[in-house]
Amino acid sequence: MTIQDIKDKGLLLFECISGSKAYGLDTPTSDTDLKGVFYLPKDQFFGLDYVAQVSNETNDEVYYELGRFVDLLCRNNPNILEVLASPEDCILYKHPLMEKLHISTFLSKLCKDTFAGYAHSQIKKARGYKKKIVNPVEKERKDVLDFCFILEGYSSVPVKEWLKNKGYAQEGCGLSSIAHTKGLYALFYDIDSKFSYKGIVHSPVANEVSLSSIQKGEKEIAYLSFNIEAYSLYCKEYKEYWDWVANRNEMRYQGNQQHGKNYDAKNIMHTIRLLQVAQEIFRDGKLNVKRPNRVQLLDIKSGKMEYDQLLVMADGLMQQIKRYAIDSDLQDIPDKDMAEKILVEIRTELYK
């Protein structure tokens, strides 16, 4: 099923403009995001081929099956609550039966967890973004030898430096583990090529050191330490960084580079917006999609505020949400019985 199928077959219940244009935060380069609600033909709904959600290839048009939509409303999903609370000038189509769904049925103190919780995850994401910008990972990947060191007295020397100073090749080295130690090895060297040592690593892409059979009576020439925890952490960070580079929105990245603040400004703007919406829900009992502070939010998006200042603002909003939630008249959780009753009424009318 496609979005066009939904419209062609008369299954559309609701359609609205969402995203920046609904928030009043659009600029000349903003895309038009659409969200909608549909229902399935009776045979398909009662059969095995249930479709919960349909979207286009870029996911800027997303339509939810009626049951899925109501379920997400009961979970106080921020995006779905905003769809139900869409400003009149953003609603493109509304079936009369959708009038049965009122935002007051669903707004609850769960919003403290869903709105603020999502915002918290976005702040964490923004911190990770800043870390990637400030601490880029070199494209040339380090190997196990970069995390190996030779013990010398009370200090240590990188094994690559030690091998160079000695004129040794890593392939001529043999390692033997030392009982009751972790990451520490006795190192032997095959000066006369008499032994078939496996080297410190058996190949440049190895993820661990190699152990060799050492002839009895051979004397170690050094002790080697392999910091496997640091190597594992590096491998994880290397993969995360270069996966991020491969998948990032290049236009958005370049925009962030232009303002020079080293954070994802658009992400932070929507985080602050979300927290302000949650604050109003608990303070006023209303969900206002259209934002009255367009200038402030667009200033954040354009990088006119410092990163640490924004984190302080976000933290202050979270604290206010917690305080307002204590005295709020909102229901603790949505009335699922009422929501289900409304859902059944709507389906009954649709399938008459």
Task: Please check whether residues 188 and 52 belong to one and the same domain.
Answer: no
Task: Please check whether residues 39 and 182 belong to one and the same domain.
Answer: no
Question: In the prediction, which pLDDT does 208 show?
Answer: 95
Instruction: Domain of residue 306: give its range.
Output: 109-138+249-330
Evaluate if residue 52 carries a pLDDT over 60. Answer: yes
Which of 47-56, 222-231, 252-261 bottoms out in mean pLDDT, i.e. has the lowest? Answer: 252-261
Question: In the prediction, which pLDDT does 204 show?
Answer: 85
Task: Please check whether residues 23 and 96 belong to one and the same domain.
Answer: yes
Task: Please check whether residues 133 and 256 belong to one and the same domain.
Answer: yes
Let me know if residue 240 belongs to a domain.
no
Evaluate if residue 253 carries a pLDDT over 70. Answer: no
Which of 36-45, 109-118, 161-170, 225-234 bottoms out in mean pLDDT, i.e. has the lowest? Answer: 109-118
Domain boundary among 177, 198, 233: 233
SS (H, E, C) the chain: CCHHHHHHCCCEEEEEEECHHHHCCCCCCCCCEEEEEECCCHHHHHCCCCCCEEECCCCCEEEEEHHHHHHHHHCCCHHHHHHHCCCHHHEEEECHHHHHCCHHHHCECCHHHHHHHHHHHHHHHHHHHHHHHHCCCCCCCCCHHHHEEEEECCEEEEHHHHHHHHCCCHHHEEEEECCCCCCEEEEEECCCCCCCCCCCCCCCCCCCCCCCCCCCCCCCCEEEEECHHHHHHHHHHHHHHHHHHHHCCHHHHHHHHHHCCCCCHHHHHHHHHHHHHHHHHHHHCCCCCCCCCHHHHHHHHCCCCCHHHHHHHHHHHHHHHHHHHHHCCCECCCCHHHHHHHHHHHHHHHCC
Let me know if residue 243 belongs to a domain.
no
Question: In the prediction, which pLDDT does 21 show?
Answer: 96
Evaluate if residue 167 carries a pLDDT over 60. Answer: yes
Task: Please check whether residues 269 and 307 belong to one and the same domain.
Answer: yes
Confidence of residue 195 (pLDDT cuts 50, 70, 90): confident
Decide which of 195 and 151 is more confident: 151
Which of 78-82, 120-124, 258-262 bottoms out in mean pLDDT, i.e. has the lowest? Answer: 258-262
Question: In the prediction, which pLDDT does 135 show?
Answer: 65
Task: Please check whether residues 148 and 134 belong to one and the same domain.
Answer: no
Q: Average pLDDT, stretch 191-198?
A: 83
Task: Please check whether residues 132 and 152 belong to one and the same domain.
Answer: no
Evaluate if residue 32 carries a pLDDT over 70. Answer: yes
Domain boundary among 233, 257, 283: 233
Evaluate if residue 257 carries a pLDDT over 60. Answer: no
Confidence of residue 136 (pLDDT cuts 50, 70, 90): confident
Task: Please check whether residues 62 and 186 belong to one and the same domain.
Answer: no
Evaluate if residue 196 carries a pLDDT over 90. Answer: no
Let me know if residue 278 belongs to a domain.
yes
Q: How many domains does one find in the chain?
A: 3
Task: Please check whether residues 23 and 123 belong to one and the same domain.
Answer: no
Decide which of 244 and 235 is more confident: 235
Task: Please check whether residues 260 and 115 belong to one and the same domain.
Answer: yes
Task: Please check whether residues 225 and 287 belong to one and the same domain.
Answer: no
Task: Please check whether residues 213 and 262 belong to one and the same domain.
Answer: no
